[in-house]
Amino acid sequence: MPAIFLIRAVLRRGARLMPALGCAVLIAACGHHTTNNAVGVGVGIQLSSPAGTTLVEQGATLEIDANVSGDPANRGVTWTLTGSGSAKSQTATAFIYQAPSGVTGALTVTLTAVAVADATQVASVTITVNGTPVMPAPVLFPANLNIGYVTYFTVVGGLSPFTYTVTSGSLPPGLAFDGSTTGATALSGIPTQIGTYTFTLKAVDANNATAQATVTLVINPQTACVLLGQFAYLFTGFRDHLPVVRAGSLSILSDGTIEGEHDYMDDQTSRIGEVLTDGTCTTISQNRGTLRIVSPTRVESFDYGTIATLSSGHLQENDGTPIVGSGQFFMQTPSAFPLSSVAGDYTFGLVGADTTEHRLALVGRMTIASDGTISNGSVDTNQTPALNAAAVTGTLTAADSNGRGTTVLTIGGLTLPMAYYVVDANTIYLVSADPAAKAVRLAGRMSRQSAPVAASALAGPSVMSLWGSSMAGGLPTATVGAGLIFGGNGTTLNAGLDYVDRGVPLVHTDYAAVPYAVAANGRATFNLAAAGANHPLVAYLSGPGNGYFLEAGSATGNWGILDQQVGAPFSDFLSSYYAGGTVFAASTSPITLVPQLLFQEGSLTGNVTGTYAIDPATGRAIATVSRNILGGSGLVVYIVSSKKLVFLGDGVNSVNSTLGWLQVY
């Protein structure tokens, strides 16, 4: 119950900017297939469905009733329908929705009620229309001989119960479907024979409508890893509560062995350009496993989860050492390694600690010539005194076969030995590479900058990911946030920010008509100010809606990344699995790996179960999950695109709320 209470409070705070999310919390709390007639409570309005559901078949009708508190004259509500379908009839207290016919799969529409007596009282409900069933063909991860495997097939639309049968081909020996009669069924077991298996799965719904998908599943030898190829990774975390930075390259061979190189720094140790002496990648099940990395100084182990293309994923250290942390990995493009390919304009963001263990963040831009020379640099920091648009100089050495090169950046009074790892033509990881003890240690990335970057780059929408950290009682405490920037017209912009500050519960704040300016090199400045709380931000934009930012003078060294939001308005998440976890951890716990999470029609399944409700206009959602992840069981989610989600823990009774990213399978 505490998590649900928090969610209600957040929705009330955000109701004016995002009214469509106001009532949806009880959809999330109760689920779509409930017999409870309540389907939503907004600000002063309760919505109910006599049918006890918000699901309706194509061509059918569904009644939604409204009860308004503080309405002695019984003036009721006005209704607005967004999406397909129509009003068969409506009164001040009841709306009869007429679902369209000819629907393929499923669609969602939003019904919003606004109190006549008080327009600030708003509630909405998301109605799902089920049409002719469709079974999207899943992209299957390869399986391993004698290792447990599970994958899922889902049906969009149709009416349960469903009957599933294999109509052609054959399943790999050892695997079977689970007998489900719902819109999702699992194929699981322990493969007993190597090979390639193609089969067709057919689903028949209660109306005798059918859907099917034909797929191919490969069973690999037991020693093969689900990952294969050359990957760059960026890792941040803590050793004995003090910041750790790391980046490297891993080449995973067909027999699961690992070669590679990395750079690592904590407050006691530097391991610069260290070449691996051994390593093993092991598959545990489907898309997750372990990475055992052996260097001349130690043996380390990481858990990983990957997406279906096997080109990227998430990892976290899990070997019982004092080091905790997490990061992302992406398949490298060797053709991008030469300096001639690296050359161009870049923005960048770095975060870590200075020589006194105070948090240090840098954002900026630079131009790299084909000989590696850096020019046209501009950097801002949060140190005291801060650097503002300071010059940066340096020269990159040529990268080796792992995509690793080095540079020494000179920024104001800072001299920063760095290593870099080329990911692809547009992305480079950076990490400190200073052999000295108690040196500055930073990690981050560079993104190729498009030119020119004008004020229209903040027209939005753009999703903000924000991290901060400070020491309290000898422990790092987190400040994290997620939000949306939109409506930049060249002079002012709008924003909404969900913010958890060192144990202070989640607060959503709206900002309207915020003045901003963007310089010719992409440096932008604006101040999110409300109720006495200021967030003076400096951003370097790499293109429309993308870039890096920091909060000038922040006590917790707030720093973040902007991602252009694509696809709004959002009727719902795609019926897809996501994988990911904590990025740029701001405290030692929790650091979370989420290998499988499915968003579908208001429900979450996979490694975490729960429910969610979404605001179509902004892509902001509230979720309640079965266990504490990211610092709480209540989550705020922002959709960046169908490929990426940003999710934030609620931080109830915790100084350790954190923020993570999810990638679609």
Task: Give the mean pLDDT of 150-154.
Answer: 86
Buried/exposed code over 195-205 (b: 16+ C-beta within 10 A; e: otherwise): eebebebbbbb
- Residue 403 is predicted with a pLDDT of 98
* Structural contact between residues 558 and 587, judged by C-beta atoms closer than 8 angstroms: no
Least confident of 115-124, 408-417, 538-547: 115-124
Selection from 150-154, 316-320, 650-654 with the highest mean pLDDT = 316-320
Q: Is residue 137 part of a domain?
A: no
Judge whether residue 568 has pLDDT over 90.
Answer: no
Q: Is residue 339 part of a domain?
A: yes
- Residue 35 is predicted with a pLDDT of 34
Q: Are residues 17 and 100 located together in one domain of the fold?
A: yes
Question: Tokens at residue 203, please?
Answer: 């689903």
Q: Are residues 442 and 302 located together in one domain of the fold?
A: no
* Structural contact between residues 619 and 639, judged by C-beta atoms closer than 8 angstroms: yes
Q: Residue written as tokens 């975390």?
A: 237
Mean pLDDT of the chain: 88
- Residue 442 is predicted with a pLDDT of 97
Least confident of 66-70, 459-463, 468-472, 615-619: 615-619
DSSP assignment string, 151-190: EEEE-BSS-S--EEEEEEE-PPTTEEE----SSEEEEEE-
Q: Give 646's contacts (C-beta < 8 A, 6+ positions apart).
A: 463, 465, 482, 563, 637, 638, 640, 659, 660, 661, 662
d(CA 63, CA 79): 13
Question: What is the total residue count of the chain?
Answer: 665
Q: Are residues 177 and 241 located together in one domain of the fold?
A: no
pLDDT digits (tens, 9 = 90+) for 616-640: 888 898 888 877 787 777 889 999 9
- Residue 105 is predicted with a pLDDT of 87
| β-bridge partners, 430 | 420, 444
Q: Residue written as tokens 């009282």?
A: 121
Which of 195, 220, 245 is the endpoint of a domain?
Answer: 220
Q: Is residue 601 part of a domain?
A: yes
- Residue 538 Cα distances to 321, 403, 491, 525, angstroms: 37, 30, 16, 5
Q: Is residue 618 part of a domain?
A: yes
User: Residue 364's domain spans which residues?
Assistant: 334-448
d(CA 53, CA 58): 15
Q: Are residues 344 and 442 located together in one domain of the fold?
A: yes
CATH code at position 341 = 2.40.128.20
CA torsion, ordered 18, 20, 21, 22, to nearest 10 deg: 90
> Nearest Cα to 44, choosing from 76, 3, 1?
76
> Nearest Cα to 496, choosing from 3, 7, 19?
19
> Nearest Cα to 559, choosing from 314, 416, 382, 432?
382
Q: Is residue 135 part of a domain?
A: no
Share of residues in the chain with pLDDT > 90 (%): 62
CATH code at position 118 = 2.60.40.10
- Residue 40 is predicted with a pLDDT of 61
Judge whether residue 4 has pLDDT over 50.
Answer: no
- Residue 656 is predicted with a pLDDT of 74
* Structural contact between residues 291 and 301, judged by C-beta atoms closer than 8 angstroms: yes
Q: Are residues 477 and 533 located together in one domain of the fold?
A: yes
> Nearest Cα to 314, choosing from 301, 330, 298?
330
Task: Give the mean pLDDT of 68-87.
Answer: 92
Task: Give the mean pLDDT of 404-428.
Answer: 96
Q: Is residue 213 part of a domain?
A: yes
Question: Tokens at residue 544, please?
Answer: 């429309």
d(CA 151, CA 140): 7
* Structural contact between residues 370 and 386, judged by C-beta atoms closer than 8 angstroms: no
| β-bridge partners, 175 | 189
pLDDT digits (tens, 9 = 90+) for 79-108: 999 889 999 999 999 999 999 999 988 888
d(CA 301, CA 323): 11
Give first-to-last CA distance, the chain, whole Å: 32
Q: What is the band of 481 on the pLDDT scale with cuts at 50, 70, 90?
A: very high
Q: Are residues 91 and 43 located together in one domain of the fold?
A: yes
* Structural contact between residues 591 and 614, judged by C-beta atoms closer than 8 angstroms: no
**pLDDT top residue among 628 and 290:** 290
CATH code at position 236 = 2.40.128.120
Judge whether residue 29 has pLDDT over 60.
Answer: no
Q: Are residues 403 and 344 located together in one domain of the fold?
A: yes
- Residue 223 is predicted with a pLDDT of 85
Judge whether residue 27 has pLDDT over 70.
Answer: no
**pLDDT top residue among 51 and 204:** 204
* Structural contact between residues 447 and 471, judged by C-beta atoms closer than 8 angstroms: no
| β-bridge partners, 554 | none
Judge whether residue 350 has pLDDT over 80.
Answer: yes
- Residue 10 is predicted with a pLDDT of 25
Pairing state of beta strands 210-220 and 195-204? antiparallel
pLDDT digits (tens, 9 = 90+) for 166-206: 999 999 999 999 999 988 899 999 999 999 999 999 999 99
- Residue 51 is predicted with a pLDDT of 84
Judge whether residue 58 has pLDDT over 70.
Answer: yes
Q: Are residues 537 and 625 located together in one domain of the fold?
A: yes
d(CA 482, CA 23): 21
CA torsion, ordered 601, 603, 605, 610, to nearest 10 deg: 170
Q: Are residues 386 and 471 located together in one domain of the fold?
A: no
d(CA 520, CA 451): 9
Q: What is the band of 497 on the pLDDT scale with cuts at 50, 70, 90?
A: very high
- pTM metric for this prediction: 0.82
**pLDDT top residue among 371 and 51:** 371
Helix (H, G, I), strand (E, B) or coil at 410: strand
Q: Is residue 136 part of a domain?
A: no
Which of 308, 331, 354 is the endpoint of a domain?
Answer: 331
| β-bridge partners, 81 | 111
| β-bridge partners, 624 | 611, 634
Q: Are residues 301 and 393 located together in one domain of the fold?
A: no
Which of 196, 220, 244 is the endpoint of a domain?
Answer: 220
Structural domains in the chain (count): 5
pLDDT digits (tens, 9 = 90+) for 233-269: 999 999 999 999 999 999 999 889 999 999 999 999 9
**pLDDT top residue among 58 and 138:** 58
Q: Are residues 327 and 339 located together in one domain of the fold?
A: no
Judge whether residue 44 has pLDDT over 90.
Answer: no
Share of residues in the chain with pLDDT > 70 (%): 92
Give, as one character, the DSSP assignment of residue 146: T
Q: How many CA atoms lie within 13 A of 594 on its CB side?
A: 31
Q: Is residue 315 part of a domain?
A: yes
Q: Are residues 295 and 207 located together in one domain of the fold?
A: no
d(CA 611, CA 40): 14
